Structure 1
């Protein structure tokens, strides 16, 4: 993994110490959910229903036959949208390609390690599905139909994502006390082929073989 002296977020810069603390908290949070190491976010897409636009109308018809915006999002362990992803992995479903920065399930797992890998990934990745559900319940306009121009609809979706993050920050639930929290194992430096499948095999064999 590369070393970063600071992390740019728009015009802001996150100092390295704060960034390292943030990544540690996120990785530990995800590890507690499903036992998957070094996860910084879960990625997926969801459809936001819209009225039929007057221009390029066929381009907005999804495979289910209604008009929508296809929103792709990444969430952290607290169901917020993070501002930076590095020094870790995203988890996606089988619709995504397996990449060094994006780990996906085995289509036909071979052996116990690969099956446990899939189970852990699924238990962790469900966070993004819960995020979409809570996001749409919090802002009913996302769960019904947005009746504006596509440009305004994009702005509304983005604003709802920002407000969702703020609402979690201001109303963070109390965590249950745990005298023996799960400790995330240290991920050894990977020296094999640097592609998604090679890293996926390394994770499965290292953390899920026993």
Structure 2
């Protein structure tokens, strides 16, 4: 039996460097099978015990979050920024393999997350194949019910890949007035926090970044690794660990969500916000 500290450090090396388990095993003087067992044992322990991805519900907490978001670009009442990111995984030979091929042409898990101004994740869904549309992941998550039950109110900011809701503000496609352009600018600057969070996450844990290759496991294990990294990311922020430098931000590709019947109440609410810019 290996010491607990040894096991934790072995796992952290895998997460941080993205090395093959055979390389990690050689470095630590253990067999590849032992390295694999150690890594997944520690990951399961972290996911089970470190419960630090929680969506805020207390009125005072939400008030603080709204104030911090407002400081960015004067966009009111924001309680989170939402987006998705593709995490590369190895190919597979199964009937549902095609579902894991994302728009960029590689196998992946499409991870949805909500972020606070300090780059901490408050909600994460990391179980859907790479081809899954962001809007579908959102509708299948607990977020719609969670936000609708908030007594303090507020809304998320999402890109054009999401549907406009009374609790989810999206950009205006083809803005025609100065106010609409300023709304879009403030929306983009405020929502940028989620893209920064993904950038920091992948810089800290190279196993999630495309430069680290891909996660060489079946999807169920990959989702566990992603969840573990996100929980450790939050812990690092809580402990004031300095952010890693993001050398080259990944390009953001947005899908435009088209609705046959746009949510009238949400559209009216958005126009009221536009009038404040």
Q: Is the 8 A contact 2:55 2:122 kept in 1?
A: no
Is 1:74 the equivalent of 2:114?
yes
> Which of the residues 125, 134, 154 maps onto 2:223?
154
Aligned residues: 175
Q: TM-score, normalised by structure 1?
A: 0.77
Q: Determine the C-alpha separation between the residues in 2 that align with 1:158 and 1:126.
A: 21
Extract unaligned runs of 5+ from structure 1. Answer: 1-9, 174-192
Between stretches 94-103 and 193-202, larger displacement belongs to 193-202
| Pairwise CA distance, 1:110 | 2.5
Is 1:109 the equivalent of 2:109?
no
> Which of the residues 225, 238, 250 maps onto 1:169?
238
Larger radius of gyration: 2
Map 1:39-58 onto structure 2 (within 5 A): 39-55=78-94, 56-58=96-98
Is 1:91 the equivalent of 2:131?
no
Extract unaligned runs of 5+ from structure 2. Answer: 1-50, 124-145, 243-262
Q: Point out the structure with the larger helix share.
A: 2
Q: Determine the C-alpha separation between the residues in 1 that align with 2:92 and 2:71.
A: 44
Q: Determine the C-alpha separation between the residues in 1 that align with 2:197 and 2:235.
A: 14
Map 1:1-210 onto structure 2 (within 5 A): 19-55=58-94, 56-82=96-122, 85=147, 86=150, 87-143=153-209, 144=212, 145-171=214-240, 195-205=265-275, 207-208=276-277
Q: Determine the C-alpha separation between the residues in 1 that align with 2:102 and 2:264.
A: 35
Moved over 6 A (4+): 13-16
Q: Determine the C-alpha separation between the residues in 1 that align with 2:264 and 2:80.
A: 20
Q: TM-score, normalised by structure 2?
A: 0.59
Aligned residue for 1:184? none
Q: CA, structure 1 residues 105+160, in 2 after alignment: closer, same or farther (shift >3 Å)? A: same
